[in-house]
Structure 1
Amino acid sequence: MTDPRVFDAVVAALMGALVLGAYITAYAYVIQPNRIDAVANVGYGIVLAAWLAATAILFAAFGAGLRAGKPWDRALPDGYIGSLAAALLFGAAWIVDNGYWAKGVVGPDAVGLDALFTPPRLIEMAAAAVMVSGPLRAAARRGETTAGVVTLLSASLLLSVLTFALQFVHPLIDPWASAQYAIPAGTPSWVGKNVGVAALLAQSLVLAGAGLLLNSGFKLRPGSLTFVFTVHGLLVTITKLHMSYVPVLIITGLAADAWIAWSARRPGRPSASLCAVIGGAFALAYMGRILVDGTVWGGSLWSGAVLACIMLCWLMGRLLRAGLPAAMVATLIPATPIAVEIRNEIRWTRDPASTVRPQLVRAALDDLGTPEALGRSPLGGLPGVAQGSGSAAANLRAVLVDVISELAASSQPRDAEAGRLLLDYYVKKVGSHEVIMERLHLSRPTFYRRLQRGFQLVAERIDEMSEFAGSVPVAR
């Protein structure tokens, strides 16, 4: 499988089977009180088969990469070394879980949180989250700007793994607000209200976070979030066969996609407003579905719960405007800051007087340790940086490190000082600004002058490489 997108599709399909098996197993544990249904064996079998197949494919690709002479950390398509490590960790946790923990610690008949929140199973869920997000990470590291179906499926599976861990507070699994929900006898009414509102708030935040992550990292085609939320809904409602609640997530996705389309008329991408729309649409659609069957909540409580979802999701969007770690451009001194919302819309310019160039260099250096964000830098697509092999993130990182190393060895004292500053702070990560100042014996004003000069020199060097690569014909 030389095409990484084919590899993505195969991994995503296997991970989809793994998550499906997990939810079938969850169904077996909760469909009857204090009893594990026999269908649990089917779920376990699907999970095990999917894991074995995925691990075998990852190992085969890893071996093929090593035989081709690639270093071990580049033997797999970019983004999948973590998936292979997670697959091995998943297998180890599975052995401990089934060979010892389930029998000797919690007992084979344990249900509920006693069965879900054991250390081995928490490790399995964490490893599964890394595995299912492999295609999502790979697409980001390749510098893909538009989310394809496989990328969206990977995001939906990641969302479903997170929800699997939080299934005990999911309103579509346990609709506490519904008059038809069988509340255990003797349960005080306030318990149902407390848990029901907490579940609604928690899942609103999870959905809003997923939407923000995708919209910040990729350009979304119409219907993208509807697809993500619908697949997620089909999986999560398996737990108690509440398929009639799937339209709640379909409506949520439609509202989110409509808001993204409407917001496209303005520059930038919505963040806080998108989160508020997702949270509000989910809460409103859920309460609308609940009202069909009747509700034990008063109008004041359910309307307050909807408003709380909107407010909390909006607040989360404000706090996480960048969506991905290090994906925003910090204000330079004395450069003009770039608004966060248009971070991914900026393009490289050949104008040496432009303040955008050093800011893009700084943004790329800030993302040097985050390949998913680095792969989306405009610098990654420039001639001389983009190469036929390797991901955009890996190519750009190699170029930046080479340029900074050359700069640090410059015969010009100021240029060399700027290069050593960038090398120590961004590449070697020696320490904070203060540590670098002391290490290089620089005053604070001189430090920031050298820092700014370093960004400008790196931008000039990348410009030279780009111009040279664009003027040299490609050999065929």
Structure 2
Amino acid sequence: MTTVSKPLGVAQTEPRAQATTPSRSLAFDYQMMILGTVMLFGVFLDGWAHNHGRVDDSFFTPWHAVLYGGYALAGGRLVLAQFVNVGRGYKWLRALPPGYILSLLGVIIFGGAGIVDMIWHETFGFEENLEALLSPSHLLLMTGALLIMTGPLRAAWLDATPYRQRGWRFLLPAIMSVTSVFALLSFFLAYAYFTEDLTYLVGIRPGGSRGIVDAMGIMGLLVPPMLLTACILFLRRRWRLPFGTVTLMLCLTVLLMTWLSLDATYEFLLAVPMLMAGLVGDVLLWRYNSPQRLAWLRLMAFGAPFAIILLYLITIQQFSGQFLWWEIHMWLGAPVLAGVLGYLLSFVAYPPAMPPNAATD
């Protein structure tokens, strides 16, 4: 990603044939955002069907149709833009707006992975449970999907539009791209996600394997907020994010993950603590508006993960009809550990200033 596009709204004065690449189009970003979201929904719809016994031993299912239909639409839109711009005089490898050539590569990878996946199923049979999340053909599909979905993010990142154009209208495609990354990685890490299996936390405590079960419960609590914090810090390195970004990313992903493995209607009540935790993150992120107020960003990196886990544990304790078997050492320690890890992530994204003339190699 080395080419920086012209600011939105600035007229292109040189002839099209002499321009390096087409200028960024916000309308095109929104189109790709919507088509990427359709692909993401297709992934979760297929996962829901597998989790609820709605599939048979066939590659050709209505659930696959939504996923591959979204892929076909996204790929078709990219290919159309490619040929139209080549016809306008742009070179083949520079015919798409900045950031989208990797999305076109993702179309090729996803299409090839779909063929590999069909052959894989015919050769080795259909995966079950954890196998499906670790299948090489499925991970290749994930790679292609991520490249397609992150086109609007790369386009926005390379855009030189002044900061006055930084609200929801201009940043929504980029924010939804990163949300898709967060959600898709959450899907493939479902075995380490707090919505996957509440028996790690509540009910009758197991006997001999209690240490392994407790470890699984802790990892399921730590992974989601770490993914979210990393995504938010990444976005904040580039933009001052509109209020509500943390809440949108968290609530949308957790609702999808809850729907994926829904066993009881009360699990949708998780939207309430996630909304509260998201607002905690948004308020703290809003307070950070200059390098002199970096402490607020670090507080967000601690406070959002802490709130996510603590409010989640309180919710399942109150509404699941069962009780946490953890003592206070664990049920309060897990949110604190998540906060500490998030706090440390903030130093990766925003390291302390180095002394003048300090050696860097």
Partners of 1:318 and 1:175 in 2: CA distance: 32
Deviation of the 1:264 alpha carbon: 3.2
Answering whether residue 284 of structure 2 is matched by residue 267 of structure 1, we say: no
Partner of 2:302: 276
Deviation of the 1:149 alpha carbon: 2.1
Partners of 1:262 and 1:92 in 2: CA distance: 46
3-state SS, counterpart of residue 260 of structure 2: coil
3-state SS, counterpart of residue 162 of structure 1: helix
Q: Is the 8 A contact 1:272 1:321 kept in 2?
A: no
Partners of 1:58 and 1:332 in 2: CA distance: 47
After TM superposition, the structure 1 stretch with the greater mean CA deviation from structure 2, 147-156 or 66-75, is: 147-156
Partner of 1:381: none
Partner of 2:115: 95
Residue pairs, 1:148-159, within 5 angstroms: 148-159=171-182
Distance 1:77 1:3, change over 3 A: closer
Partners of 1:158 and 1:280 in 2: CA distance: 22
Partners of 2:189 and 2:301 in 1: CA distance: 20
Answering whether residue 95 of structure 2 is matched by residue 66 of structure 1, we say: no
Deviation of the 1:198 alpha carbon: 0.9
Q: Is the 8 A contact 2:86 2:92 kept in 1?
A: yes
Q: Structure 2: where are the runs of 5+ without partners?
A: 1-21
Partner of 1:122: 139
3-state SS, counterpart of residue 217 of structure 1: coil
TM-score under structure 1 normalisation?
A: 0.63
Letter in 1 for 2:210: S
3-state SS, counterpart of residue 267 of structure 1: helix
Task: Identify the match of residue 261 of structure 2 among 233, 240, 246.
Answer: 240
After TM superposition, the structure 1 stretch with the greater mean CA deviation from structure 2, 144-153 or 63-72, is: 144-153
Q: Is the 8 A contact 1:226 1:252 kept in 2?
A: yes
Task: Identify the match of residue 341 of structure 2 among 309, 312, 318.
Answer: 312
3-state SS, counterpart of residue 237 of structure 1: helix
Q: Is the 8 A contact 1:173 1:240 kept in 2?
A: yes
Deviation of the 1:91 alpha carbon: 0.6
Partner of 2:191: 168
Partner of 1:78: 98
Answering whether residue 38 of structure 2 is matched by residue 4 of structure 1, we say: no
Distance 1:320 1:39, change over 3 A: farther
Partners of 2:207 and 2:289 in 1: CA distance: 52
Partner of 1:51: 71
Distance 1:138 1:71, change over 3 A: same
Q: Is the 8 A contact 1:177 1:296 kept in 2?
A: no
Partners of 1:90 and 1:278 in 2: CA distance: 34
Partners of 1:126 and 1:45 in 2: CA distance: 19
Greater relative contact order (Cα < 8 A, sep 6+): 2
Q: Is the 8 A contact 2:201 2:214 kept in 1?
A: no
Q: Is the 8 A contact 1:280 1:307 kept in 2?
A: yes
Deviation of the 1:124 alpha carbon: 0.8
Q: Is the 8 A contact 1:17 1:50 kept in 2?
A: yes
Partners of 1:129 and 1:265 in 2: CA distance: 32
Q: Deviations over 1:155-213 (max 9, x none)?
A: 211111111111111002223454259x9x98833232110101111112111111111
3-state SS, counterpart of residue 85 of structure 2: helix
Deviation of the 1:128 alpha carbon: 1.2
Partner of 1:289: 315
Of all paired residues, the percent bearing the same amino acid is: 23
Distance 1:186 1:268, change over 3 A: closer
Deviation of the 1:22 alpha carbon: 0.6
Letter in 2 for 1:135: P
Partners of 2:290 and 2:252 in 1: CA distance: 28
Q: Number of matched residues?
A: 325
Deviation of the 1:266 alpha carbon: 7.0
Task: Identify the match of residue 135 of structure 1 among 152, 157, 160.
Answer: 152
Partners of 1:68 and 1:58 in 2: CA distance: 15
Letter in 2 for 1:260: L
Q: Is the 8 A contact 2:24 2:97 kept in 1?
A: no
Partners of 2:58 and 2:246 in 1: CA distance: 31
Residue pairs, 1:432-447, within 5 angstroms: none
Partners of 1:332 and 1:4 in 2: CA distance: 41
RMSD: 3.0
Partner of 2:3: none
